[in-house]
Chain A
Amino acid sequence: MPRESDLPKIVAVNTDEGEPGTFKDREIVEQDPHQVIEGVLIAAYAIGASRAYVYIRGEFFLGVKRWIKAIADAYEAGFLGKDILGSGFNLDMSVHRGAGAYICGEETAMLESLEGKRGEPRQKPPYPASVGLFGLPTLVQNIETLACIPHIIQRGPSWFAGIGTAESKGPKIFSISGHVNRPGNYELPLGISLSDIIFGYAGGIPGGRHLKAVIPGGASTPFLRGDQVNVPMSFEGLAEAGSALGTGGIIVMDESTCIVEAVRRLSKFFAHESCGHCTPCRIGSWRIYEILERVEKGEGHSGDIDLLLDLVDGIDGHTYCPMGSALVNPVRSAIQHFRPEFEYHLTHKSCLVNGVK
């Protein structure tokens, strides 16, 4: 935040989680809003803000209800409003519902949406910290980050930094879904092995089937092969393995999964959720989806794999916001790790895993 500015400052809380495989924010929103309210209070105090906006994903019906009540309770108890607990510090907070647009999880799209507009990302710079909501300096933070703050203030930074690895500090909520016996959210230290989460906490794969592939950090992170899961779930560990920590949303696929179908499904999500602002994302994502659809159905053309890679190169880094390039990761990595499966679809007009389609 610019120190020299005397414009009023704002805290905007991002709870617009909507990426396949990621469902941690929903649990925080529904189960413990007060922990986050406390985090927002501390953040607002630190930057000198007296207004906070909480943007919650429209589909979190229960979460929205609980937040409205939690904020009312906090006002009642004197934790929000004017002269909080006699400190002279003021903070007003309100809840704002999104309305079903994945892109609004991008910080500037979220600010547009808070202003009542189409959720199309803004050009950066200027960053929200200097020109944010209503043009005012705005601190945008995810709800999971804000939920950590009260604990850090209470127990001290060295306690927090003592969890995790040297480069990835603190705890992280990992959402795990797909082919595991105990899907759900697990709060664990950063750096824990992916294999321990899958085979330990989540109880392994049903029916004794073999692990085929994992997406370790939500739909926009690159696939890992089943033999790559002895990897630490940290920023540096996953980067070294060719993937990314992303949201920590782990999607597990066993040997019965057709990778072409998995990527087709992910690409449909990204095509559907493109905000339409820029061409590489708006057109590129649908082209990728259409090609994967025909390859999966056994109607692909020879050269489709190279066409996919070419499209991916045309999108990567050429979109208006980072979300436009998110689709690149699953498509490119799936072809890199499972190319024979794509080729099988093309030459046999059927699926390697599920037989004739």
Chain B
Amino acid sequence: MADSDRLENSPIIANPQKQTKLLAALYLAQEEYGWLNPEAIEHVADRLGLSPGQVRSTASFYSMFNLEPQGEYRIQVCEGLSCYLAGGAETIIDYLAHLLNIQPGETTADGKFSLEVVQCIAACGSAPAMRVNDELYENLTLERIALIIRELEGGSP
């Protein structure tokens, strides 16, 4: 049976493709640069010995990697079936669009908020839900959303 020495010495594992670290590296680069601009892509490619094209190819597959600049607060509202049934989705999206004066896919002029519509965020049992950066907000009401936005307008991330 394989023990970990054998595993480490296996030709496949001892020289795992550098690409294996790519998703983790992209998360780090996104944190560092704010979004995956060409410079960030280049940086990751250099460090992992991949081509910028390979890095971009992987990055563009995943919705959590931003290939466009985002607001300081990235608001993602779920439009999944359960959020819709719970009175969320468009009701919340329209309300936020009105509150922030932007359309989904846009960022406020001061760069503070971007508004996005996303598919399921695994909060169907506590719907309606939205996410702001890595914070999940569940059982939303319009009153609560107004409070959340007011709080974010005042504070820093």
Contacts and interface: CB of A to CB of B under 8 A. Distances in A.
Contacts of A120: 61
A164 interface: no
A234 interface: no
Task: Specify which of A114, A177, A219 lies most central, judged by the most chain B CB atoms within 10 Å of its CB.
Answer: A177
Task: Specify which of B10, B13, B124, B126 lies most central, judged by the most chain A CB atoms within 10 Å of its CB.
Answer: B124
Given A20-B120, A175-B125, A118 B58 contact: yes
B86 A177 contact: yes
A282 interface: no
B65 A99 contact: yes
A251 B124 contact: yes
B64 A96 contact: no
A345 interface: no
Contact of A100 (B62, B79, B86, B123): B62
A26 B80 contact: no
Contacts of A316: none
Which range contains the number of A residues in contact with the other chain?
35 or more
A234 B79 CA distance: 29
B144 to A, nearest CB: 18
B131 to A, nearest CB: 7
Interface in A7-27: 7-9, 17-23, 25-26
Given A23-B125, A117-B58, A265 B23 contact: no
A130 to B, nearest CB: 14
A208 B21 CA distance: 53
Contact of A96 (B10, B23, B61): B23
B156 interface: no
A25 B123 CA distance: 11
Nearest to B126: A183
A174 to B, nearest CB: 11
Interface string B117-130: 00111111111000
A26 B66 CA distance: 24
A18 B6 contact: no
B147 interface: no
Nearest to B48: A116
A119 B122 contact: no
B24 A97 contact: yes
Contacts of B82: 20-21, 177-178, 183, 251
Interface stretch (A57-65, A154-162, A187-195, A307-315): A57-65
Given A114-B20, A115-B19, A269-B119, A7 B86 contact: no
A101 B62 CA distance: 6
B17 A116 contact: yes
Interface string A85-100: 0000011100011111
Interface string A257-293: 1000110011011001101000000000000000000
Interface string A165-203: 000000000011111000111000000000000000000
Given A97-B27, A101-B61, A177 B4 contact: no
Nearest to A185: B125
A58 B79 CA distance: 18
Interface of A: 6-9, 17-23, 25-26, 48-51, 57-62, 82, 90-92, 96-102, 113-120, 134-136, 175-179, 183-185, 219, 249, 251-253, 257, 261-262, 265-266, 268-269, 272-273, 275
27 contacts: A8-B7, A20-B119, A20-B124, A21-B120, A49-B2, A50-B3, A59-B64, A59-B121, A82-B4, A92-B4, A96-B23, A97-B23, A97-B27, A99-B63, A99-B64, A100-B64, A113-B23, A134-B16, A175-B124, A177-B86, A177-B127, A251-B82, A265-B80, A265-B89, A269-B81, A269-B119, A275-B61
- 4 smallest CB-CB distances across A and B, nearest first, come from A116-B22, A99-B62, A48-B1, A100-B63
Interface of B: 1-4, 6-7, 10, 12-13, 16-24, 26-27, 57-58, 61-65, 79-82, 84-86, 89, 119-127, 131, 134-136
